[in-house]
Amino acid sequence: MSTTSAVDTSTFWPVLGAAQEVEHTASRWSAPRKWLTAVRWLIGSGLHPKANATTLRVAEDLAARMDYSTGHARYCEADMVARTSIPRATLYRHVGYLRELGALAYVRHGSRKNIRAAMGLKGYAATATEYAAVIPATYDHAMGHRIVGTGYRARIVIDMRNQAPKPVDTAGNPPVENPAEPGLETPSLTWVEEDGKRKVVGGSNYTSQQTASRDRASIPQQKSKSNSGSKSGRHALQVAQDIRIAAQVRPLVTWTQRVPLRPLAFCLRPLIDRGMDAYGIAAYLNGLCTGGRWRPRRPAAYIRTVLADRQQAGHKRDQEAVRYERENPVSGAFRATISAQHAFQAALKEGIALYQQQMSARGHEDLCTPHLAPAIEHTEEEAAADMAAFLGTNTVLTPAF
């Protein structure tokens, strides 16, 4: 565990105003367990003069209800008062102390807006305040953490280069000294293990020749895959956005809460691609199982099946509509009255005359000379016949001027 350095409490400035919002916070995202560890340190260091054991009790209650994937928790003031026996006004103050320490950030402010109506449900329920667990830079600086990025999406990089060496299992081979320059080693967060590869102890990448040949014979050969993009062609940023939407949908739909975020985001892709937000998707899913006690045993598979069936039914309806229009063509664009037909043909004759005047003004006299008059009259007759066909009549009407 990292050692805590001395903290100068005189330089502490409380987090206020817009800096308490997730969009503007300088603190980084955290999971509940590590967040609670950081909160204990922040309170114990005396950074905030009013934060005490009651503040810690409030933080522990929030941590027990936080989503482990998002680090979000609803405030639910009345329930917290009942659980912790802390008076309402006192509870409000100590939650404010956590925000001023930079350990809590607003995801959504509470309001009187009916959240049940947004979910497509009957009744009324006000929108609850939702907080995100965050860790301020003061804690990371005291612990000597290396941070990549800024704000809510910042991350810790753990340097494994100066860690004590672990015992190496050489799998029957004599030990080999193969030191490398410390500066050439790459910091890493976790070990990456692939299916079909032998797990090694202490990071050794050596196996005996007999073991290696036996493993190669038992592992089926697989074609190499390019990692330039996913199989579905979906961009990584879009996949991350899908997971964020799924994290907002899951608390709003009871029967999806036991589905992991990635499978849930995958099956919700058709709805996300329609431009639906989290509340719209939640209302759609709640409509699938409304008015009954039945709940799907495999929610993700059920959502995929319903969406595929409805998409197939819609495609079938479109094909039937196209086939009907092809088999039943319209005889005319519309059936116009006699006066409307006269008006159309009069406008046509006027347009042709205006065209001739424009051509004459531009010097194109060949389009208006007397010897071409029969050709012009023939053009007018053809245009009138086309207009008559469009109007749905076989009689060419000559308007009286």
DSSP state string for 203-240: T-----HHHHHHHHHHSPP------SS-TT---HHHHH
**CA 147/CA 155 separation, integer angstroms:** 6
Contact assessment for residue 313 and residue 368, using Cβ atoms and an 8 Å cutoff: no
Same-domain pairing of 40 and 137: yes
Same-domain pairing of 255 and 350: no
Task: For residue 108, give the 3-state DSSP assignment.
Answer: strand
Amino acid 193: pLDDT = 40
Domain count within the chain = 3
Same-domain pairing of 138 and 273: no
- 10 Å CB burial of residue 303 (0-12, 13-18, 19+) is buried
Same-domain pairing of 247 and 288: yes
Same-domain pairing of 346 and 272: no
Smallest Cα–Cα separation from 148: which of 193, 174, 187, 108? 187
Assigned token pair, 97 = 């102390």
Amino acid 338: pLDDT = 66
Smallest Cα–Cα separation from 251: which of 292, 279, 214? 279
Same-domain pairing of 34 and 105: yes
401 within some domain = no
Smallest Cα–Cα separation from 120: which of 242, 309, 251, 252? 252
Amino acid 22: pLDDT = 92
Amino acid 157: pLDDT = 74
Phi, psi of 135 (to 5 degrees): -120, 125
pTM above 0.75, yes or no: no
177 within some domain = no
194 within some domain = no
Same-domain pairing of 243 and 133: no
Smallest Cα–Cα separation from 386: which of 356, 350, 355, 341? 341
213 within some domain = no
Amino acid 56: pLDDT = 95
- Crossing angle of the two packed helices 278-288 and 299-327, in degrees rounded to 10: 90
Last residue of a domain, one of 133, 157, 181: 157
Same-domain pairing of 281 and 342: no
**CA 99/CA 105 separation, integer angstroms:** 6
Host domain of residue 384: 338-391
How far from 161 is each of 76, 157, 189, 199, CA to CA, in Å?
45, 12, 11, 21
Same-domain pairing of 250 and 117: no
Same-domain pairing of 267 and 344: no
Last residue of a domain, one of 157, 178, 205: 157
Same-domain pairing of 255 and 300: yes
**CA 26/CA 20 separation, integer angstroms:** 9
212 within some domain = no
- 10 Å CB burial of residue 118 (0-12, 13-18, 19+) is middle
Same-domain pairing of 298 and 363: no
396 within some domain = no
2 within some domain = no
Amino acid 294: pLDDT = 72
3 backbone φψ class: left, alpha, beta (φ>0; ψ -120 to 50): beta
Successive 10-residue mean pLDDT values, the chain, 401 residues: 53 86 92 93 91 94 90 90 93 94 91 74 79 92 87 78 57 51 42 41 47 52 46 80 91 87 92 89 83 77 89 84 72 59 76 79 62 54 64 51 39
Helices vs strands, H then E, count in the chain? 14, 8
In single-letter form, the type of residue at position 295 comes to R
Running DSSP on this structure, what letter comes out for residue 151?
G
In single-letter form, the type of residue at position 320 comes to E
222 within some domain = no
Last residue of a domain, one of 297, 327, 357: 327
Give the CATH number for residue 93: 1.10.10
Running DSSP on this structure, what letter comes out for residue 4?
P
Supply angle C-alpha 94, 100, 106, rounded to 5.
Answer: 85
